[in-house]
Structure 1
Amino acid sequence: VEGSELFWLNGKSQSCSDSNEILTIKWTRVHFLYVNQPKGVVMKNKYFLSLIASVITCLWLSQEIMAAKGIYVPLFTYRTGAYAGSGIPNANGMSDYLNMLNERDGGIGGVPIIVEECETGYNTKKGVECYERIKPKNPVVINPYSTGITLQLIPKSPVDKIPVHSMAYGLSAAADGSVFPWVFNYPSTYWNQASAIIKYIGYQEGGMSNLRGKKIGFIYLESGYGREPIPLFEQLSSELGFKLFKIAVAGKEMQNQSSHWLKVRKEKPDWMIMWGWGAMNPTAIKEATRIKFNMEKFVGVWWSGGEDDARPAGKAAKGYKS
């Protein structure tokens, strides 16, 4: 068998081919081990330890073959569901970029990039299933594109020694590499964004001291992503003296926020901050215009700043910023 090793297990053969699938072998006795040598076939009768050695060799060879083939970069995508409006552009952009590197540069350092998508639907459980499925293929990095999935993978990454790149999302505290050496959230965090928005509002009000007594509303997706900046907002509220009121939007309510914005109209906030995603963004902007909220004082997180987020509200959305 040229270019590979073949071992026989109770009359059934398994080959160390270029397959990316990890081998699961339940037999406890090896009858014959074939090794391709110029002098012919070497046959040995071995028991369980020989089987273990053979499996390890096979897995090692599979990894070596894969490493020689390219750099494996899985893409966690959500092209379907209520978050597809945000997920499709992200998936297309990352796929196009990695494929461009292959076509323009031959990959990275001359080694081609192997791109494979795994659809999560922005569902944490499906995201963890994707991770477990691709883990044996030795990914160079995982980019979950979901704070909920990221939070589940953070304790797994140091054990599996797979870096997690939660690019400007995920757990803000993971920026401390001394505590989270396997998680990277460059170039920024949600706490950075939250503090920047409050600083912007303070600037618009003529100084941070003028925030005292102001009322700031925070409407957010009820998820790990949406809840991430709340501790910082609450701390800044205490330090700077503004009143914070929060409105959570459940995933199933993203496209029906009329009751949420009736609360906003009742509270009469000076400013509104949105931490939205997917279908929540355009719905919130339309509802804000419907209650005639001052769009100049409506600020969204960077994930709420797509053209398709503001376009459905038309000219009435003018002034909204992210």
Structure 2
Amino acid sequence: MTFARSLLAVLALGSVAQAAPALSQPMEQFVPIAIYRTGPYASGGSGIYGAYADYLALVNERDGGVNGVKLVFEECETAYQPDRMIECYERLKNKGPTGAAAFAPSGTGSVYALIERMTEDKIPSITLGYGRTDASDGRVFPYMFTLIANYWTQNTATIRFIAEKEGGFEKLKGKKIANVLVDFPSARETGPVLEKQAGMHGFEVRNFPIAPPGLDQRAVWLQVRQYRPDWILFAGWGSATTAGLKEAARVAIPRDRMIGWWWSGSEEDVTPAGDAAKGFITSQFHATGQDFPVFGDIRKFVYEKGKGNVEPNRIGSVYYVRGVLHGVVLVEGMRTAMARFGNRPLTGDEVRWGLENMEISPERLRQLGIDGLMPPLKVTCADHEGGGGIRFQQWDGGKWAMISDWVQPDPSIVRPMVEASAAQYAREKGITPRDCGT
């Protein structure tokens, strides 16, 4: 054998040796689950991210994984603290044959802390109903997905709901709206769009911040009472929601004139308030209840096998639904990506491509057993929100009752604000926005 042929043979063997690990890699996709089972907001963390794990378990047990790829997941306790979230992310991001498929930073403050890291690592962030609102612009934030609905979308739908109750947008002129909020990053997200709408429709807004964790609110609600608002927007959460409802009742503020954002709208938040919660309204980007086929499948394939991650009586509750939908969008994003890259473990960047080319149609919702649980979703390179609707629910003293159909937000307000804010971020960070072909 000549030297040249010997060299080619050695190189060929080397190529085979290098390819072998890829060919023999396990058919597993690693999914980290950042959860907070401790701290003042533990009910939200355990419900949402426990349900997220339940849906991944369902896909494994019922379907054998995603197109044959088993989902391997691991919890990391964060106590809803950004520093612990960063540690959790760094510890888990490289696990599995291709690293983390995606990461769901549990908390808006944690999203802010991780944006640059996740972008550099090319791992997508999945945040349903929370996160940095202007990250809905995928041209500037390619790895951030504020799916279904962001905070500004929520707020335009809420003002539309109030206008409908008052008899039209023209009836909002001269009205007073109190914006009562626990003073943390996610609650402050609604400020810019609320001010914009006040200017458009002629109503007055006054902010009433509450120091976290929001257990002592007596002075704030006395100030709200003195303001004599026509409507109250309430951005509470966890025990802060319970405390706020009790104080509102104590100073005789009608709860059916209070509209909470979706983080005030869980059973765990309102039940401890007793009669003080009755009549309270909140927004939601999904429905609730146990009668959706997906929950029957979870009971059969996960809980009956002893593999559940949440107390069974919470299945179908608000936080539980939200966690299941986290799982739905991740898995559907993976399916979309596999149609292009093949049925194998995916890199974070490949999952990103899948998420931003994902469409969950009404037909697909029916196939997944979640028809009516969430609105249809269509994500694009430029739009990482997906254009979801908002529903409103009211607490009747024992359960949530839906009191609206899907209320459409106002993209003519939200999208220009998203793009302007994202463009400012791009200038500050020296980012050249992607060309999405539009």
Does the pair score TM above 0.5?
Answer: yes
Q: Which residue of 2 aligns with 1:184?
A: 145
Q: How does 1:1-322 map to 2 (within 5 A)?
A: 64=22, 68-137=26-95, 138-252=99-213, 254-322=214-282
For 2:82 and 2:211, the matched residues in 1 are separated by: 15
Give the Å deviation of 1:313: 2.5
Q: Is the 8 A contact 2:245 2:276 kept in 1?
A: no
For 1:104 and 1:266, the matched residues in 2 are separated by: 56
Letter in 1 for 2:168: G
For 1:119 and 1:171, the matched residues in 2 are separated by: 22
For 2:23 and 2:35, the matched residues in 1 are separated by: 27
Q: SS at the partner of 1:256?
A: coil
Cα–Cα, structure 1 residues 117 and 231, in superposed 2: closer, same or farther, change >3 Å? same
Cα–Cα, structure 1 residues 66 and 269, in superposed 2: closer, same or farther, change >3 Å? farther
Cα–Cα, structure 1 residues 281 and 66, in superposed 2: closer, same or farther, change >3 Å? farther
Q: SS at the partner of 1:68?
A: coil
Q: Is the 8 A contact 1:80 1:121 kept in 2?
A: yes
1:70-90 deviations in Å (ceiling 9; x for gaps): 111111111001111222211
TM-score by length of 2: 0.57
For 1:128 and 1:149, the matched residues in 2 are separated by: 8
Q: Is the 8 A contact 2:32 2:93 kept in 1?
A: no
TM-score by length of 1: 0.77
Q: SS at the partner of 1:272?
A: strand
Q: SS at the partner of 2:158?
A: helix
Give the Å deviation of 1:237: 1.3
Letter in 2 for 1:142: F
Q: SS at the partner of 1:156?
A: helix
1:103-143 deviations in Å (ceiling 9; x for gaps): 11122111111111111111111111111111222100011
1:118-177 deviations in Å (ceiling 9; x for gaps): 111111111111111112221000111211111122222221110111112111111111
For 1:101 and 1:195, the matched residues in 2 are separated by: 35
Q: Is the 8 A contact 1:87 1:278 kept in 2?
A: no
1:6-33 deviations in Å (ceiling 9; x for gaps): xxxxxxxxxxxxxxxxxxxxxxxxxxxx
Identity, in percent, stands at 39
Higher radius of gyration, 1 or 2: 1
Q: Is the 8 A contact 1:286 1:312 kept in 2?
A: no
1:226-259 deviations in Å (ceiling 9; x for gaps): 111111111111221111111112224x121111
Q: Which residue of 2 aligns with 1:35?
A: none
Q: SS at the partner of 2:40?
A: coil
For 1:66 and 1:229, the matched residues in 2 are separated by: 49
Cα–Cα, structure 1 residues 291 and 65, in superposed 2: closer, same or farther, change >3 Å? farther
Cα–Cα, structure 1 residues 107 and 234, in superposed 2: closer, same or farther, change >3 Å? same
**Unmatched segments (≥5 aa) in structure 2:** 1-17, 283-438
For 2:127 and 2:204, the matched residues in 1 are separated by: 31
For 1:65 and 1:299, the matched residues in 2 are separated by: 54
Q: SS at the partner of 2:128?
A: coil
For 1:94 and 1:66, the matched residues in 2 are separated by: 29
Letter in 1 for 2:89: Y
Cα–Cα, structure 1 residues 201 and 276, in superposed 2: closer, same or farther, change >3 Å? same
Alignment: residue pair count: 263
1:196-216 deviations in Å (ceiling 9; x for gaps): 111111111111111111110
Cα–Cα, structure 1 residues 70 and 290, in superposed 2: closer, same or farther, change >3 Å? same
Q: SS at the partner of 1:136?
A: coil
Q: Is the 8 A contact 1:158 1:182 kept in 2?
A: yes
1:47-92 deviations in Å (ceiling 9; x for gaps): xxxxxxxxxxxxx99x859951511111111100111122221122
Q: Which residue of 2 aligns with 1:55?
A: none
Cα–Cα, structure 1 residues 66 and 178, in superposed 2: closer, same or farther, change >3 Å? farther
1:27-50 deviations in Å (ceiling 9; x for gaps): xxxxxxxxxxxxxxxxxxxxxxxx
For 1:103 and 1:267, the matched residues in 2 are separated by: 55
Cα–Cα, structure 1 residues 102 and 243, in superposed 2: closer, same or farther, change >3 Å? same
Letter in 2 for 1:168: G
User: Whose helix fraction is larger, Structure 1's or Structure 2's?
Assistant: 2
For 1:122 and 1:221, the matched residues in 2 are separated by: 15
Q: Is the 8 A contact 2:27 2:68 kept in 1?
A: no
Aligned Cα root-mean-square deviation (Å): 2.1
For 1:201 and 1:208, the matched residues in 2 are separated by: 9
Letter in 2 for 1:308: E
